[in-house]
Structure 1
Amino acid sequence: MPRTRPRNAVGFTTRSLLICVVLGAATAVLIHLARFVGVLLFGAAPWLGKPSALIPYFVLLIVASLLVPRFGSALIASLVGTVVGIGTMALMAGLMVEVGFAIARSVQRRTSGELAPFGDRRWLVWAMLAGCLVGLNSFALLFTFKEFQALPAGLMLAGLGVRIVAGIAYGWLAWVTVRGLLSAGLKLDGPSRRSVPAPSSSGSAS
């Protein structure tokens, strides 16, 4: 009888939880970098700062949702990033990623009855959507700064465009990262490969 990996009450294995924690800790490093670059840019170009759209601080949260396609994976990673990164940037991004992938899982189950395998191209558009949602949320938060509110409409639109393009690019980067990890031999629990039935051994012994 095949052994099953232990799961907790919400369906996460020890390995999947560890993946989320590691990605969350790495997210905190990117958040500190994005915060630093954002402060440097905000004085000269408020539409590029706080946080800086030039730093992919949320890309590993999308990776978490791609590697662990269960509700809460990006949220767990973002909570770790929030604690280690000291701030709510990771949490806000994690919530947006969760929304994007909740839609993805719902659509896939309705259309095909099951989730696509890990690294499948069908996840790419949803990864880019999640990145776009984070970008839109980041843009909305800029209106809490008086310096941004004083900008001309053209620069505001430029800030919106940069965040949407960056979000789409970072979603693509997350998908490519997952493909690379799978090609390197990362083992995961779930639909990582289309299973091929093993040949029966009943007739091999004579």
Structure 2
Amino acid sequence: MHDDFKFEPVKGLPEALPEGEHILWQGRPSTWRLAREAWKLNWIAGYFTLLAVWRVGVSSTQLPLGEAMTHAVPFVVIGALCCLILLGLAAISARSTVYTLTNKRVGMRIGAALTMTLNLPYTQIGSASLERKRSGHGTIAFELLGGTRLSYLMTWPHVRPWYMARTQPALRCIPNAAHVAEIFAEAAEIRTSAPQIARRPQTAIAAE
């Protein structure tokens, strides 16, 4: 099988990890969950189902029920095609995505046609929120500190829905989300509590 991302020195990351950094977890969205939550597959399927039922109801007032049901076929076919397209888009999006947690940052390789990688150091993340479903799948969204801003459209669907003014990048529709949230929380706590040493130019040190 051809690997479109074979050029990556580390899967999901644009460059090799520096010394002292290591991967704690990697994953990607669930295709089915992404189709339902981001692409609204259930709503589209429900919409065409209602259209088909409505068409049968209208036609059955003038025609036998068996014949009236055939009038719903175009709505069923179009609805099925739309759902397949959305499912395909979700599958492409999920396949091209790699979420990474290291001991120092969150990495997000996203985008199918236009691929980009987001590097979110734990020191730039103010808080995180977990939305978990009964299946165990969930979304972990990150609120960024300071003036860090991301484009909602460029990063969708890997964002917290409807947070457009201050876009919150998110690990969307991942399996076993609670466990991943624990990994993130522990790594972020260790990283942010460690002292940060800023390197100064040698000339400045000499001047002092």
What TM-score do you get using the length of structure 1 for normalisation?
Answer: 0.29
TM-score (norm 2): 0.28
Structure holding more strand per residue: 2
- Whose Rg is larger? 2
